[in-house]
Amino acid sequence: MWSALPGLYGVPQMELGAAEIGLLALGARLLGSGGGGDPFFASVLALQAVERCGPVRLLSADGLPTDASVVAMGMIGAPAVIIEKPPNGRELTDVVRGVERRAGVETAAVMPYIVGGVNTLLPIAVAAELGLPLLDADWTRRTFARLEQSVLTLVGISCSPVALADEKGNVVMVESSDNHAAERLARAVTMAMGGSAAVALPPLSAFDVSAHAIQGSVSYCLEVGRRIQAVQGGAPGALRELLAYTGGELLFVGKVIDVDRRTTAAFAVGTVVIEHLRDRSRTLRLETQNENLLAFEDGRAVAMVPDLICVVDSETGTPITTEELSYGQRVNVLALPSAPAWRTDAGVALVGPRAFNYQLDYRPFATAATA
């Protein structure tokens, strides 16, 4: 399934079939950084679509004509709603047709607006259904809960008009003055649609995508998934290999002793306390807002957003989302560096700790931390 095909425009292509969907789902769980929802149902949708319509071609953005039209899409809403009310499937194609109609262009390719969590795999289902290629790029390469928290905002590309669609056939276009307003209004529409909705950004040219988006996100996710699979299979040194590939660190090994969840208007906020497995005087506290945002040991922040803080099952290496965290679980906490665009002053200003109301200055996690 993972085969190099001659590229349409001289660029190597890959095919995404059932095996790749499985690996992407694993990688997407980790890149969700605790949020983004369990990719399980998105993989069911993607698998069904690929089974019905054949595998999806993965292209790099410069493999398309520069003026080709690309739609970034996925879902927004509370993961707790999505696992309780899985989608119909039609809202995903409805929403792409919605932005297409509005812009008066024909879509040449789709791409994930977020690689991480459920959003990674939904565009595969859409690409298969519509017979389009998938671009190997995204706008976050980790999960963020808010629409404006994307590289689009950093580079000054507008999300207006963003389209939202629900399972009942409703499609809403939101024209907004800036991306912050787009988020606020889209969120209100999402709540009115029942707490989750399909979302598509206005079409961009392949040139803009190749100039500004985070390139290679889908294949990065796939490679991460391949390395998690090795950890799950018990391959010696597999965790080290995963950390080496991502440039990550093992922060802590312990047992979950408290999970406090509070749900605000649309986001799940919580605090998770993990006791060290051997030294019970040590605890790690995670602050979460849909995603794991901060990790404190003894009051000292040891990892911060926008870097990824990921909790994985100690024994199996399977990533655990914040909703799945529960008392007594034995876990490893990993820190992974975010995409380079986020580790800039502008990136930190948009998605650093202060953007989430924590009065802390971003510092990259220390390498060779002691776990």
Partner 1 sequence: VRIGIDIGGTNTDAVIVDRHERVVAVAKRPTTDDPLTGISDALTTVLSQVDASAVQRAMLGTTELANALLERRGLDPVALVRIGAPATLGIPPAALWPDDLRARALAGYTIVAGGFEFDGTPIAPLDEDAVRRFASSIAERAAAFAISSVFGSSYPEHALRAAELVRECAGEQVSVTIAHEIGTAGLIERENAAILNASLLSSAERVIGGFQRALADCGLSAEAFLSQNDGTLMGASQAAAFPILTVGSGPTNSIRGAWHLSGVADALVVDVGGTSTDIGMLAGGFPRESARAVEIGGVRTNFRMPDLISIALGGGSIVARRDGELHLGPDSVGWRLAREALCFGGSTTTLTDIGVAGGRLELGTLDPGALGSELVASALTRLDATLLENCERMKSSHEPLPLVAVGGASELVPERLPGVSEVIRAPHHEVANAIGAAIAEASGSFDRIVSYQHRPRADVVSEARELAVGEAVRAGAARDAVRIVSVTEIPVTYMPGGGCRLQVKAAGPLAPQP
Interface residues with partner 1 (CB under 8 A) are 40-41, 44-45, 47-48, 78, 80-81, 83-90, 167-169, 194-195, 234, 259-266, 268, 313-316, 318, 320, 323-324, 326-331
Query: Please, what is the minimum distance in Å from the beta carbon of residue 93 to partner 1?
Result: 11
Tell me how far apart the terminal alpha carbons of the chain are, to the nearest angstrom: 38
Cβ atoms of 130 and 93 within 8 Å: the answer is yes
Instruction: Please name which of 306, 368, 307, 293 lies closest in space to residue 336, comparing C-alpha atoms.
Output: 307
Strand partners, 76: 197
Instruction: Please name which of 289, 248, 273 lies closest in space to residue 143, comparing C-alpha atoms.
Output: 289
Comparing CB distances to partner 1, the nearer of 80 and 155 is 80
Query: Please, what is the minimum distance in Å from the beta carbon of residue 81 to partner 1?
Result: 5
Comparing CB distances to partner 1, the nearer of 65 and 194 is 194
Cβ atoms of 6 and 23 within 8 Å: the answer is no
Residue tagged 């790099």 (tokens): 60
Comparing CB distances to partner 1, the nearer of 97 and 261 is 261
Query: Please, what is the minimum distance in Å from the beta carbon of residue 193 to partner 1?
Result: 9
Q: What is the dihedral of CA 77, 80, 83, 88, to 10 degrees?
A: -30
Query: Please, what is the minimum distance in Å from the beta carbon of residue 180 to partner 1?
Result: 20
Q: How far is CA 188 from the centre of its chain?
A: 21
Query: Please, what is the minimum distance in Å from the beta carbon of residue 49 to partner 1?
Result: 10
Q: What is the dihedral of CA 341, 334, 243, 241, to 10 degrees?
A: -150
Comparing CB distances to partner 1, the nearer of 105 and 277 is 277
Comparing CB distances to partner 1, the nearer of 223 and 313 is 313
